C-alpha cells in the first residue's frame, strides 16, 4: 500500500487545472459533497465518501477535459472514462467511520460509480470502480486504461480478487 493516503487530482499537460487537491482537501469539502454513509446510497457498500462533483467544483477543469482517469499505482490498475458519464454520479470512498478504508474495501481510497454497467460491457462498468487510487487525472483524450478487455483475462482477475476477499 502506498505510504501516503493522498490522492492527487490534476490535469495532464493539456488540461492545466487551477489547483491540485489531496485527500486532506477532500475532507474539507462542504457538507453538501460529503456522504457520511455510503450504504444509504449503495446498499451493501460501506464507508464515508465525497462526491466527485465536489472535487470537480474545486478543481474547475477546463472544458477541454473530456476524460477522467482513476489510477492505482499499487497494483498498476487504471481506468479512463468519459467525464460526462461520471461527473454527477461517481463517489470517492475514503474512510470507514473514523478509520481508514481497509485494503479489502479497496482502501485507502476507491472510486465507486453507482449504477455501473456489468463488467467488460461499457466505458463505465463495474471494473472502473478503481481501488487503491492515488491519482485522478483529467485529460482531453482517453488516458491510460488497462481494464481487462478479454474474457479470460477478466475472469482471471476476478478469481484473484475473490481470493483477496
Ligand atoms: N486497483 C484495482 N482496482 C480494481 C480492480 C483491480 O484489480 N485493481 N479490479 C476491478 C474490477 S475488474 C472490478 S469488477 C471491481 C470489483 O470491486 P469489488 O471487489 O469491490 O466488488 O474492482 C475494480 N477495481
Ligand atoms: Mo470487473
Q: Give the pLDDT confidence score for residue 2 in this predicted structure.
A: 47
Q: What is the distance in A from the centroid of ligand 1 to the CA of 161?
A: 7
pLDDT score of 14 more than 90: no
pLDDT score of 9 more than 90: yes
pLDDT score of 98 more than 50: yes
* 71, 106, 154: residue to mutate for ligand 1 pocket, most atoms within 8 A of CB: 106
Torsion of CA 75, 80, 83, 84, to 10 degrees: -120
Q: Give the pLDDT confidence score for residue 1 in this predicted structure.
A: 46
pLDDT digits (tens, 9 = 90+) for 52-78: 999 999 999 999 999 999 999 999 999
Label residue 97 by pLDDT band (50, 70, 90).
confident
| pLDDT, average across residues 157-162 | 87
Mean pLDDT for all residues in the chain: 91
Ligand 1 pocket, 47 CB below 6 A? no
Question: Which of 36, 30, 35, 38 minimizes the C-alpha distance to 54?
Answer: 30
pLDDT score of 11 more than 50: yes
| Residue of 87 and 19 predicted with greater confidence | 87
**CA triplet 142, 53, 11: central angle to 5 degrees?**
40
Which numbered atom of ligand 1 lies nearest the CA of 45?
20
Amino acid at each position: 500500500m502506498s505510504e501516503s493516503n493522498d490522492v492527487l487530482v490534476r490535469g495532464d499537460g493539456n488540461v492545466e487545472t487551477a489547483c491540485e487537491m489531496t485527500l486532506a482537501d477532500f475532507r474539507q469539502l462542504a457538507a453538501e459533497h460529503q456522504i457520511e454513509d455510503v450504504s444509504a446510497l449503495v446498499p451493501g457498500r460501506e464507508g464515508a465518501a465525497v462526491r466527485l462533483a465536489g472535487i470537480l467544483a474545486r478543481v474547475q477543469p477546463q472544458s477541454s477535459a473530456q476524460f477522467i482517469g482513476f489510477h492505482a499505482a499499487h497494483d498498476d490498475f487504471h481506468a479512463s472514462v468519459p467525464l460526462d458519464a461520471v461527473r454527477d454520479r461517481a463517489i470517492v470512498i475514503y474512510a470507514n467511520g473514523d478509520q481508514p478504508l481497509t485494503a479489502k474495501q479497496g482502501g485507502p481510497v476507491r472510486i465507486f460509480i453507482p449504477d455501473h454497467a456489468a463488467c467488460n460491457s461499457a466505458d463505465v462498468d463495474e471494473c472502473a470502480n478503481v481501488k487503491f487510487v492515488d491519482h485522478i487525472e483529467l485529460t482531453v483524450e482517453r488516458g491510460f486504461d488497462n481494464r481487462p478487455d478479454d474474457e479470460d483475462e477478466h475472469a482471471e482477475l476476478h478469481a484473484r480478487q475473490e481470493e483477496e476477499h
